[in-house]
Amino acid sequence: MNAASTANIQTPDLDQLRQWHPQAPSRASVLICHGMAEHGGRYARLAAALNAQGISVYAPDLRGHGPAAQARPGQLPGGWPAMEEDLRRWLAAMRKPDAPLVLLGHSMGSYLAQGLLLQHSALVDAVILSGSNAHPPTLSRVGRLAAAIERTLRADEAPAQTLGKLSFGQFNKAFTPNRTDFDWLSRDPIEVDAYVNDPLCGFTLTADYWHGLFTTLLRIADVKQLRKIRPDLPVLIIGGEQDPVSAGNGLRKLQSRLQQAQLKQVELRLYPQARHEVFNEINREQVTRETLDWIMATLSLDRIGKPTDENA
């Protein structure tokens, strides 16, 4: 991490976030919303590359995730709306008149980001959606019903084992024979093993969490709802063509959906053979460099220098 990485700032809403800051005054900020069953600390390498260009990075642990939730992982106190409100408060606290703000959401974090944008797109200057999908409404309705049934059959705080198997378990089938249960994340076995061996990753969420997710997926599938997003907001969609969450085509449909909602700047970058976590893929240097190029161009920032291999 950068030497100035974890210094707290005075705004109470930001104290709970991981922070990485450049040595020089920050020219822009990025808030990273992580995916399901992981945590914000996994984005330190990406943060280092952004810091090298004078960009500060903040990465919260969403509700039910990270060290604070280690005793009861996968639970969603307050429900999904409370998590959206967390995100709104963090972005509002980060907002500065002289420093552009980017929201980067990965996987579940990309759906949280889209839900937030329906009401608060003025809070950010650009959005990056990684490992996302245009989830079909019919499947979201079925998923929400399944979550409601599992929530009834199990205790509210119990892991939703059936839904977990129907998601993560199905994703891995595309890469049989499997070395681990999470081969679908990346072609890099070192990165997969890091996830498997991380005690803060790979747990099963409760049915209440899943119910909130499917409800949000229905909201953000509605083009009329998406038209509440300001049309001049630049959006970058990135992902792997072999990502079982979207299989590439889901990201094309997401781009089309946002364009139908009259967003004027929606760019899509698909990486051949890459899987779900493009920032942890074997071509992560390319992904990081091209994402950084997009941020710099979109925010009209000049490069300080090329990212090193270590930072990329």
Tell me, yes or no, whether 201 lies in a domain.
no
The answer to whether the CB of 28 falls within 8 A of the CB of 52 is no
Q: What is the rounded CA–CA span in Å between residue 295 and residue 74?
A: 32
Number of domains in the chain: 1
* Residues 237, 251 contacting (CB under 8 angstroms): yes
Let me know if residue 293 belongs to a domain: yes
ω into residue 177 within 30 of 0, thus cis?
yes
- CA 299, CA 179: separation in Å to the nearest integer? 41
pLDDT greater than 90 at residue 13: no
Residue listed under structure tokens 């890091």:
194
**How far is the CA of 198 from the CAs of 39, 55, 157, 241, 310, in angstroms?**
10, 27, 22, 26, 22
- Provide mean pLDDT across the span 237-243: 97
pLDDT tops 70 at residue 71: yes
pTM: 0.93
Q: Is the pLDDT at 203 greater than 70, yes or no? A: yes
Q: Does residue 248 fall inside a structural domain? A: yes
Collapsing DSSP to helix, strand or coil, 64 comes out as: coil
Residue 226 domain-assigned (yes or no): yes
Statement: residue 247 has pLDDT above 80 = no
Q: Can you give the pLDDT at residue 306?
A: 61
64 part of a folded domain:
yes
- Determine the average pLDDT of the residues in 121-147: 96
Determine the straight-line distance between the first and last CA of the chain, rounded to whole angstroms.
13
3-state secondary structure of 102: strand
Between strands 18-20 and 55-59, the pairing is antiparallel
- Assess whether pLDDT exceeds 60 at residue 122: yes
Q: Is it the case that residue 289 has pLDDT exceeding 90?
A: yes
Buried b (16+ CB within 10 A) or exposed e, 116-138: bbbebbebbbbbbbbbbbbbeee
For 293, list phi and psi in degrees, rounded to 5.
-60, -40
Q: What is the mean pLDDT of residues 261-281?
A: 97
Q: Which domain holds residue 108?
A: 12-134+222-298
Half-sphere exposure of 60 (CA within 13 A, CB side): 23
Is residue 105 situated within a structural domain?
yes
**Residue 93 within any structural domain of the chain:** yes
Residue 122 lies in a domain: yes
Q: pLDDT digit string (tens) for 167-197?
A: 888 899 989 999 999 999 999 999 999 999 9
Segment 25-49 mean pLDDT: 97
CATH of the domain at 284: 3.40.50.1820
pLDDT for 141-159, tens place per residue? Answer: 999 999 999 988 887 678 8
pLDDT at 8 over 50: no
Q: How confident is the model at residue 15 (pLDDT cuts 50, 70, 90)?
A: confident
